[in-house]
Structure 1
Amino acid sequence: MKQKKSEEQISCEQLDFDTVLTFVDNLIFTKIGRHLSDPEIILIKGSWDNVDYDEISAGSTYSANYLQRFVGPQLWNLISAIAGTGEKVTKKKLRNFLEKLFHNQYNSQQIEEKNLEEAPSDCSIKINGNPPTTFNFFGREQELNQIGEFIKRYKCVFLIGIAGIGKTALAAKILQQISTNSESKFDCLIWRSVVHTPTVPDLISELRQLIQPTLDSSQVEYTQAQITTLIKELQSRRCLIVLDEIDKIFQKVSFEQRLEYRLFFRRIIEEQHQSCFILTSRIFPNEFKNLIKNQRPLQYIKLKGLNKDAAMQFLLSQGLADEEQCLELIETYYGHPSELQSVVERINHFFAGSTKIFFDNKTTFISPEFQTVLDELFSKSLNQLECEIMIYLAKHITIDSELISFQKLLKHFNHNPHKNIPVSEIVEAIESLENQSLIENVTHSSSKEIHFSLQPVIKKYIFTDPLGVIRKIEPLSKISVA
């Protein structure tokens, strides 16, 4: 049996195929969480051996056309995106590209290992709790930098945005980065999901156990005394605590519990300690707006979709090949990560991974998760005026293919004798829709007038009206929305 070569031997010799195949497979799995498929392995082997598509096909169960037109372009784009060198991979360049990539990775690893040997033996910080993995994370450099600055200056930072926009992933990423940063000022990192809506005493008990597991976990009788005890621990240690899906607490708990949470966070924000909370939420709760106005140490970041570069990198990593059509997907779904993921899964499943076939039969998909959120909003959360504004925007943006100005909204809802809705109510309804990330605004560069738009996915939901909520408010004219 052949003895396995050491990495040092490999680095000094020409790579063999088994080594490079393992290297590529591990690289792809680390980045996007899947292994190479059989046709991808066959194609990498043929390209490594400089064999043409017909010869590769002859030794496999796949046609040359399938390997060349479907598997190849997606695979080259995937490897290009994951490598992140900016170099475009082709079949002819694959072997040379992978050899360079392997040696670069090997050299980087050697430097990293040397630095680790010279650094203190334990410079990483354990994350207490169970944050999600971040292996499929793209972009968000600006937001990460902004959060990095905010957590130095504020006691509480909100990450807000519509469902699936990436709030949880971003919070997990910042924890992961800080956990491996030897210069971090935090000595305790905590992740806690609050989707189960714990009471304030239960949450305090959970946090105290995560901050200092050896402490006496017996609860103090009064909630305010428990908060005082927690704040003392936040004074003695510098903790960064993520509470994921905090909006569930303010939606589901009783009025008394809301008051208790309001006081809990007010004390966390206003009293002296050296720790910081990151809270993820679909909306910025009203309870915190006055604290911002009064310049308390609280800030928020409203997340939008991925920028074009990050979204393109994500789509290429999923195997989509045509950059122009990928850009159209990004524009249609506003760079929304989970909606892009959903449409990619459907393209791969129903359209053989071909964006060309998909665009020949173009439609707008709504993921099941996003539809559930919209169902809840339209059936329970939005009032009639908010729904009417959404319907008006959906109709007129579809017809005119343009943004709708605030003046146009006023003319329809306030100056219209059939409606005559007070301006204050219109403004409050728009603010509510913006807070829930259901509409987006753009300020005109010259006139400074504000204009509003709707994501195509939300327009599609309004016109399909799966719960019949829209039809009860206003009959929709038959506008074709694929």
Structure 2
Amino acid sequence: MNFKEMLKLADGIVFEKTGQHLDDLQAAVLRGTLQRETYKHIAKDFDCSESSVRQVGSQLWQILSEELGEDVNKTNVRSAMERLQVSLFSNVVQDYVGVGSINICGEGRHPPDIPNSHPPSQETANPQPTKTLHQDLSEMPELGNFFDRTSSLQTLTTWILQQNCHLITLTGISGIGKTSLAVQLVQQIKHEFEYAVWYTLDEFPTIDKFQSNLIQLFSQSEKQDSSPTNQKRLPLIKYLQKHRCLIVLDDIHNLFCSGELAGKYKPQYEEYRSLFKQIEKLSHQSCFLLIGWEPPKEVPQLTSENTPIRTLQLTGLDTAAAGEILRDKGLAEIDNCEALIHRYQGNPLWLKSVATLIQELGIGANDLLIDDTILLPEDLKDVLQQQYDRTSELEKQVMSLLATENQPVNVAKLLQNGQISSSDLLNALQSLSRRCLIEKEASFYTLPPVLKQYIKTRRSQLTNIDSE
């Protein structure tokens, strides 16, 4: 069900209830919600206050709840609307289908919007039984522009379908395209599984709520499939052993502490560690795909093919794919776009941000390539700040040291500063690497140019504040 279909259905519901069609802000709230945007982000795009957006959203969910007969909110609006669509479609079909039979009405009486309806042939009247597919992908974003990730897509597909990996982490700095890649992956392989589920961990934070939600999905679908009189709920791992499941957990970093080294669980989420250990160690036929800015601490960056656990750290797009972003933004006139792409490391979000700024201000893109200028639009600084604020004070110290270096440096050079012990330095470098905030080549480390510019700008702003 695409956005236009959902907008049309929602508009009909609102008109039926209020006598008025959706206004622009209501439509913006619905669109933003389906794209997993926060009310703050929707308000910024619509140039109004967050409280106004929140109030409009609340009123819209209330109208939909009353008309659909269930509690509709920001987290389940897509699934609720899709259930309504299925219900409406089923009612139409039932008007044309004989009770207890799959025979469609005779010639000349085709159900509306169902073309070429004919009595089934003997071959199609008794189809071979197929594996039941159960999905809960209501939280999965729609697939927008997907830039070429053929190699990464093939790697993940091989790990999941051929090597039967139990636990895979997909990491990368914000904006690099982790979620887009995962959506494309799920769309391609979901039919290989009995269950395909996508959850965002800011919506299901506690282990009890998460497991309960999954077990409820399993138990309800089993009851529908087999109609037992008494269906006893099993531990989660039993369902994963009984069925082949693909379970995607997005924003995995929400389980971990800010201000600590990467992958340290918040106290209330420690039980996820035991769950992931079970998923890794026990025998089953399912796969968990974890997506986020950093992996759990117990998941190594380098893994062996002899283990059922893998890590894929996503890097930037190649020049050809990244060039599509610049062309979409009207920057086709750049003589040598490779320099700009390299400067922003092929990061789709970073490139879109700077391309939008260049386009809106009418800056000559080629002029930026002369003196290695690195622009930091406000929306890009906001994204970088989110990840910078998650780091520990030790990591901030190391990044500050790296920001002063013009060339990659080794551990010995960093230790010359004398401010950080060798043990602390190594732990900080490992954590920064797991967060994808530094680059490593052989035994030398460096900061990405964009992050280096951000830290320099931040340091300058703090110095100005202190001088005042």
Query: What is the TM-score with the length of structure 2 in the denominator?
Result: 0.61
1:162 equivalent to 2:162? Answer no
- The aligned counterpart of 2:392 is 382
1:188 equivalent to 2:195? Answer yes
Q: Equivalences for 1:276-295 in 2 at 5 Å?
A: 276-289=287-300
Give the SS at the match of 1:404. coil
Question: Which sits farther off after the overlay, 140-149 or 341-350?
Answer: 341-350
Give the SS at the match of 1:309. helix
Task: Note if contact 1:190-1:241 (Cα within 8 Å) is conserved in structure 2.
Answer: yes
Gaps of 5+ in 2: 1-34, 36-122, 225-231, 259-263
Q: C-alpha distance in 2, partners of 1:380/1:178?
A: 33
Question: Which sits farther off after the overlay, 205-214 or 328-337?
Answer: 205-214
Cα offsets for 1:279-337 (capped at 9, x unmatched): 00211221334996896421110011111121113322333213534222201100011
Among 113, 118, 136, the alignment partner of 1:128 is 136
Distance 1:215 1:368, change over 3 A: farther
- For residue 376 of structure 1, report the CA deviation from its aligned partner: 4.3
1:264 equivalent to 2:272? Answer no
Distance 1:381 1:454, change over 3 A: closer
- The aligned counterpart of 2:214 is 207
Amino acid at match of 2:137: G
What percentage of residue pairs aligned between the two structures are identical? 31
Distance 1:341 1:429, change over 3 A: same
- For residue 392 of structure 1, report the CA deviation from its aligned partner: 2.5
- The aligned counterpart of 1:435 is 434
- For residue 374 of structure 1, report the CA deviation from its aligned partner: 3.5
Q: C-alpha distance in 1, partners of 2:222/2:356?
A: 47
Distance 1:358 1:290, change over 3 A: closer
Q: C-alpha distance in 2, partners of 1:159/1:331?
A: 22
Distance 1:413 1:428, change over 3 A: same
Q: C-alpha distance in 2, partners of 1:462/1:294?
A: 38
Distance 1:240 1:250, change over 3 A: same
- The aligned counterpart of 2:357 is 346
Give the SS at the match of 1:240. strand
Task: Note if contact 1:465-1:471 (Cα within 8 Å) is conserved in structure 2.
Answer: no
- For residue 254 of structure 1, report the CA deviation from its aligned partner: 7.7
Q: C-alpha distance in 2, partners of 1:441/1:291?
A: 14
Amino acid at match of 2:157: G
Question: Which sits farther off after the overlay, 457-466 or 316-325?
Answer: 316-325
- The aligned counterpart of 2:381 is 371
Amino acid at match of 2:211: I
Distance 1:319 1:214, change over 3 A: same
Query: What is the TM-score with the length of structure 1 in the denominator?
Result: 0.60
- For residue 426 of structure 1, report the CA deviation from its aligned partner: 2.0
Q: Equivalences for 1:13-32 in 2 at 5 Å?
A: none
Among 444, 453, 458, the alignment partner of 1:460 is 453
Cα offsets for 1:180-204 (capped at 9, x unmatched): xxxx532322111112352111101
Task: Note if contact 2:172-2:293 (Cα within 8 Å) is conserved in structure 1.
Answer: yes
Question: Which sits farther off after the overlay, 256-265 or 139-148?
Answer: 256-265
Aligned residues: 329
Give the SS at the match of 2:144. coil
Task: Note if contact 2:252-2:290 (Cα within 8 Å) is conserved in structure 1.
Answer: yes
Amino acid at match of 2:365: T
CA RMSD of aligned residues (A): 3.8
- For residue 453 of structure 1, report the CA deviation from its aligned partner: 2.3
Q: C-alpha distance in 1, partners of 2:421/2:288?
A: 39
Task: Note if contact 1:387-1:470 (Cα within 8 Å) is conserved in structure 2.
Answer: no
Distance 1:350 1:471, change over 3 A: closer
Amino acid at match of 1:365: L
Amino acid at match of 1:433: L
Distance 1:468 1:215, change over 3 A: farther
Q: C-alpha distance in 2, partners of 1:471/1:209?
A: 55
Cα offsets for 1:318-377 (capped at 9, x unmatched): 33213534222201100011001111221222217x534665897423354543343345
Q: C-alpha distance in 1, partners of 2:438/2:145?
A: 28
Q: C-alpha distance in 2, partners of 1:375/1:426?
A: 22
Q: Equivalences for 1:230-241 in 2 at 5 Å?
A: 230-241=236-247
Task: Note if contact 2:252-2:294 (Cα within 8 Å) is conserved in structure 1.
Answer: no
Amino acid at match of 2:203: H
1:142 equivalent to 2:151? Answer yes
Q: C-alpha distance in 1, partners of 2:189/2:356?
A: 32
- For residue 396 of structure 1, report the CA deviation from its aligned partner: 1.9
Task: Note if contact 1:375-1:467 (Cα within 8 Å) is conserved in structure 2.
Answer: no
Q: Equivalences for 1:30-429 in 2 at 5 Å?
A: 127-130=135-138, 131-152=140-161, 153=163, 154-179=165-190, 185-211=192-218, 213-214=220-221, 229-251=235-257, 255-289=266-300, 296-351=307-362, 355-356=365-366, 363-379=373-389, 381-384=391-394, 386-397=395-406, 403-406=407-410, 409-414=411-416, 419=418, 421-429=420-428
Cα offsets for 1:446-474 (capped at 9, x unmatched): xxxx222222211111111179568999x
Q: C-alpha distance in 1, partners of 2:464/2:178?
A: 33
- For residue 138 of structure 1, report the CA deviation from its aligned partner: 0.4
Gaps of 5+ in 1: 1-32, 34-117, 218-224, 398-402, 444-449, 476-482
Q: C-alpha distance in 1, partners of 2:301/2:176?
A: 26
Task: Note if contact 1:165-1:305 (Cα within 8 Å) is conserved in structure 2.
Answer: yes
